Amino acid sequence: MTETAKKNALENPPFTVSQEEVESAFSDRVISEWERDRMQEWRDKASLTEKQLNCRKNIEAKILLGGKKPVSSHQSHPTAPAVSPPAFSSGCDIDPETARKAHQEGRINGWEFERFSEWKDKSFLSEKQQRIFSEIQQKILQEAPEGQERMKNPDDDRKRKFPHGPSGGNFGNFNGTLGRQDMPSSGGGVSGSGGETEIRSGKHAGKTFASVYASDRGYVDWVLGLSDTRGWMREFQEFARGMAGQGRQGGQDPSFGSF
């Protein structure tokens, strides 16, 4: 639990249902596996966040009702039709803004956010949809580790870094097709554009992408082998891939294509 969550924590009052009743409700499919696990997890906690406490109360209400709606007086007659349990109940009262924040922080993806928004107020979901919905709720309620920034979709991150750049590996010529990028200082930084982009840090500081690509294939291969890069290395990685693609298309050696 983060420091912010600790400050907003509320006292966890005594449970109104026993663990045996929780297990029984799970066996009868009144609650999901995720709901059962949360009840077990939260039972021994001295405090919960407001969202967790609301979720706990909703699960308890489902268990106490046994998945059934209260029987009205006119239905108490032996010949009255039986009251069917509701086909679906969301269990957790998660507001749309909380779900939207979880999507922005990368805890749920776009498809999960859309399903949550679509299914939240539905009165019927299939068993498979209920399972998926419970899993999405679990992800929304999870808190990002303190001090750790969650990354968004990699495609979104690429678009943010290269708003005017190409979407694929074909970079055309070196007449500014990459566009000038203001790279973060922590990543070393670059200046210029396309093949004339200048590296400002590391062993090739002061050299252009084009000259390094032509003279040091070992370094190029090393950069291409990095699975997670930031700043100018990411830009150089995309530049090198584009050059290799041009070399293959033109029948040249992609290692030392003409500049």
Global pTM exceeds 0.85: no
**Contact between 91 and 32 (Cβ < 8 Å):** yes
pLDDT of residue 170: 38
Q: Categorize the per-residue pLDDT at 89 as very low, low, confident or very high, splitting at 50, 70 and 90.
A: low
Q: For the segment 3-56, what is each residue's pLDDT rounded down to a tens digit?
A: 555 656 788 888 888 989 999 888 888 888 898 999 989 888 888 888 888 888
CA-based nearest residue to 200, from 213, 211, 188 = 188
Percent residues over pLDDT 70 in the chain: 59
CA-based nearest residue to 141, from 53, 26, 82 = 53
Residue 183 has pLDDT above 70, yes or no: no
> Rounded distance, CA 50 to CA 52, Å?
5
DSSP 86: P
- How open is the CA angle 85-88-94, to the nearest 5 degrees? 135
Q: Categorize the per-residue pLDDT at 68 as very low, low, confident or very high, splitting at 50, 70 and 90.
A: low
What mean pLDDT is predicted for residues 205-215? Answer: 85
> Rounded distance, CA 193 to CA 247, Å?
20
Q: For the segment 132-176, what is each residue's pLDDT rounded down to a tens digit?
A: 888 888 888 886 544 444 444 444 444 444 444 433 333 333 333
